[in-house]
Structure 1
Amino acid sequence: MIAVPSGQPVALQDVIWNVPGPEGLAVRFRFVAPQIAREGGTIPYEVAAEDILHLCQTYALPRLAEFGPQPTQIIISMSDQPVPFGESAPQATQFFEAFTPQDDLCIWEIF
């Protein structure tokens, strides 16, 4: 599990780095966070958003060097259950946020 400000359990599902994003080269860090579920979940989006920023700053940024060319965008996603990349999962609760890495910071972009 990865520590986040809300204290909810969060686990890395996978990292996708070879699929271009809307703004060029993107690295996607995909996390599973069961407590964001619509039914029975205890973490609303407003709380999860703080966790997502934290994951970008403390988890994704330090790992960028592992992925070769530096991306222009970091996408952090949370899902209440594992979802295969690129597949539709209407039953899943999913949150996505995009960030620009700049001077060791994650700058939030509005989708």
Structure 2
Amino acid sequence: MVRAGGGVMQRAGLAMAVLVAGGVSAAIDDPIKVPSGQPVTFQEMIWDEPGQGLTYRFRFVAPEIGQAGRGFEDVMGDMEYLCNTYAVPRLAATGPVPNQIVISLSNAPSEFGVADPDITMFFEAYTLQDGTCIWEMF
């Protein structure tokens, strides 16, 4: 599901609209190639305004994270890559430019905002400057 403020839109409907508008013909469950070579698929995009301004959250499933060779430091490059090559091209089709883009990887699909001790999740925040994702230290 994709949530926008108080409204909810079906993931597939928005994802297809974003993919079509962004000129991408891949299905939403197709693997996305990332620098580490791990399998990654798009789960959902959520946007809101949590006090810091408009934030877009692009959530991905990467089943190998948390395993040997797929720790946080090993996938930081994947998150920046996903921000620049997956999230940024879809912003023009999505709406206004956000103050922040958050990229998250989890080892299994999860519900946004619901803690699950069995799911490993990594995330990073970026600002957008001249069409490029700039990493923000939390």
Q: Give TM-score scaled by structure 2 length.
A: 0.74
Call closer, same or farther: CA 1:22–1:36 in 2, change over 3 Å: farther
Structure 2 counterpart of 1:8, from 38, 41, 49: 38
Identity of aligned residues (%): 53
Shift of 1:21: 3.6
Q: Structure 1 22/3 Cα, relative in aligned 2: closer, same or farther at 3 Å?
A: farther
Q: Which residue of 1 aligns with 2:59?
A: 30
How many residues are treated as equivalent by the alignment? 108
1:22 deviates by: 4.9
RCO higher in 1 or 2 (8 Å CA, sep ≥ 6)? 1
Distance 1:59 1:26 in 2: 16
Q: Which has the larger radius of gyration?
A: 2
Equivalent of 2:105 in 64, 78, 85: 78
- Partner amino acid, structure 2, of 1:75: V
Indicate which of 90, 94, 102 corresponds to 2:121. 94
Segments of structure 1 that go 5 or more residues without pairing to the other structure are none
**Partner residue in 1 for 2:17:** none
Answering whether residue 53 of structure 2 is matched by residue 20 of structure 1, we say: no
In structure 2, stretches of 5+ residues that fail to align are 1-30
Q: 1:51 deviation in Å?
A: 0.3
Structure 1 residues 41-83: Cα deviation after superposition (integer angstroms, max 9, x where no partner): 5411111111000000111011101221111100000000011
Which residue in 2 is equivalent to 1:69? 96
Matches within 5 A, 1:35-50: 35-37=64-66, 40=67, 42-50=69-77
Aligned amino acid, residue 56 of structure 2: V
* TM superposition shift of 1:23: 2.0
TM-score (norm 1): 0.91
